[in-house]
Chain A
Amino acid sequence: MTPTEAWSAVVAGEDAAIYAYSVAGGRVSGGDRRRALSGLEAHRRRRSRAAAIVTAAGGTPPAGSPAYELPDNVDRARAARRVMADVDVALVPLYADAAAMSTAEDRRWAARCAADSATSAVAWGQEPQAFPTPRT
């Protein structure tokens, strides 16, 4: 794995998260809605910064898919929270790889994003894990 590959995977993961938050965030209300909206903004910012890192390294950031597979029952609030937890926790290993493949500020930022993603997943109801990774 090269740094460009690691950061491109982050871009793809953030794209999926943006899509999931856009859809699932509309299915929750109250405090969850507010958290989903700020989470959506955070995912957009992170996608943008990760893409800039890929570009700075001479790579081309991957284009997002127009749509992603989501479970059928995403319209239920509980399932919506779970979808957001799932995309968040899926980002943790991607950011951990990006941390391994980077140095200095990029690495610091990758580690911070890993921490924020894992925290968000647990806040959405996922069980904490020693090494946060997606459920299979």
Chain B
Amino acid sequence: MSATPLSSAPRLTRRQGLAALGLIGPVGLLAACSSDDEATPTATIGTDPEPVSPDATVAAEEALLIAHYDAVIETLPEAQSDTRDALAALRDQHVAHREALGGGGEPLLDDLPESPTIATLSAAEKAASKSRIRSCVDASDPDLARTLAFIAASEASHVPALKDLA
């Protein structure tokens, strides 16, 4: 009855497999610098005398998402341990995001919804993914842009995962 577990994930092409594995491969810093200088966004955040780096801003947003998950998990009875565990697994991915951004950043806990639910989490994930895409476009460092694209992808993918839990 059990389907063959496909222990070896399909390698669609050798080239494709290799390319996909090269995600943390060498960063073409020179190429990146020379490619499109005039189009590089100038990452100025208003006239703030002490501009917050995108990492710290996003790290704070990640911290808020973590608090949001904690709040929702707290509302669930022990009996719903499967849902709690699944939410905790998604929460931990935000911990990984925050760490990848260097940690730091204080969450604005006032921004948490009054009655946090899986639905409010889902909305927060959608908004977070869009925000990461904006930060990605504004990033002056290609590595940061790559990291933010990954985080945007992860957060967008949490939405269908949350739908299964609702």
Contact = CB atoms under 8 A, between A and B. Distances in A.
Interface stretch (B66-74, B75-83, B111-119, B152-160): B152-160
Grouping DSSP codes into helix (H, G, I), strand (E, B) and loop, the B interface class, with mixed when no group exceeds half, is: helix
Interface in B112-166: 129, 132-133, 136-137, 142-143, 145-146, 148-161
A103 interface: yes
Nearest to A90: B20
Contacts of B156: 115-116, 118-119
Contacts of A122: 157-158, 160-161
A41 B143 CA distance: 31
Given A94-B19, A111-B149, A99 B154 contact: no
Interface in A1-39: 1-3, 5, 9, 12-13, 16, 19-20
Interface residues on B, range: 35 or more
User: For the complex, would chain A's binding face be called helix, strand, loop or mixed by DSSP majority?
Assistant: helix
Contacts of B22: 93, 97
Nearest to B132: A111
Interface of B: 3-4, 6, 8-13, 15-17, 19-23, 25-28, 31-32, 35-36, 39-41, 89-90, 92-94, 96-97, 100, 129, 132-133, 136-137, 142-143, 145-146, 148-161
13 contacts: A1-B26, A13-B20, A69-B10, A69-B12, A90-B17, A99-B148, A101-B32, A111-B149, A111-B153, A116-B156, A128-B89, A128-B158, A132-B157
Interface of A: 1-3, 5, 9, 12-13, 16, 19-20, 65, 68-71, 73, 76, 78-79, 82-83, 86-87, 90, 92-97, 99-104, 107-108, 110-112, 114-119, 121-123, 128-136
